[in-house]
Amino acid sequence: MSELNLDGQVEAFFDTFAAASDQLDTDRLAELFRAAGIARVVLVDLQHHALDDTYVLARTDWLGERTGASTPVRLSSTFILRRSADRLRVVFYLNHQDVARALSVA
């Protein structure tokens, strides 16, 4: 897969991922966000590169927008994505901070 095609595929994946995160009802992370007053999570930075023909490493930065006037919460994660048949799936992801702590002190 060409790097140009990979760029579009990874960007589209995270656009869809971010949109889906706004609609999660039962996910533990979504519950933490709601409890912390996070109304929306926005992808603000995405860097990625192919590890091989199958796997992609993606480094992301997100802003959790709080209801009201308080400061947004910055969250960073690294994802390993698996490519198959023009689809990307999350193999695993690693948050770069304790999400519960980041949400409670922000």
- Domains of the chain, by residue range, sit at 3-105
Structure confidence at residue 36 (pLDDT): 79
Q: Confidence class of residue 34 from pLDDT cuts 50, 70 and 90?
A: confident
Averaged pLDDT, 30-53: 85
pLDDT above 50 (res 106): no
Structure confidence at residue 49 (pLDDT): 93
Structure confidence at residue 105 (pLDDT): 54
Q: What is the pLDDT of residues 46-99, one digit of tens each?
A: 999 999 999 999 999 998 888 775 788 888 999 999 888 878 888 888 889 887
The CA-atom distances, in angstroms, between 26 and each of 3, 33, 36, 70 are 36, 12, 15, 25
Q: Which residues contact 32 (CB under 8 A, 6 or more apart)?
A: 99, 100, 103
Q: Which residues contact 75 (CB under 8 A, 6 or more apart)?
A: 41, 61, 62, 63, 64, 95, 96, 97, 99, 102
Homologous superfamily of 3-105: NTF2-like; domain 1 (3.10.450.100)
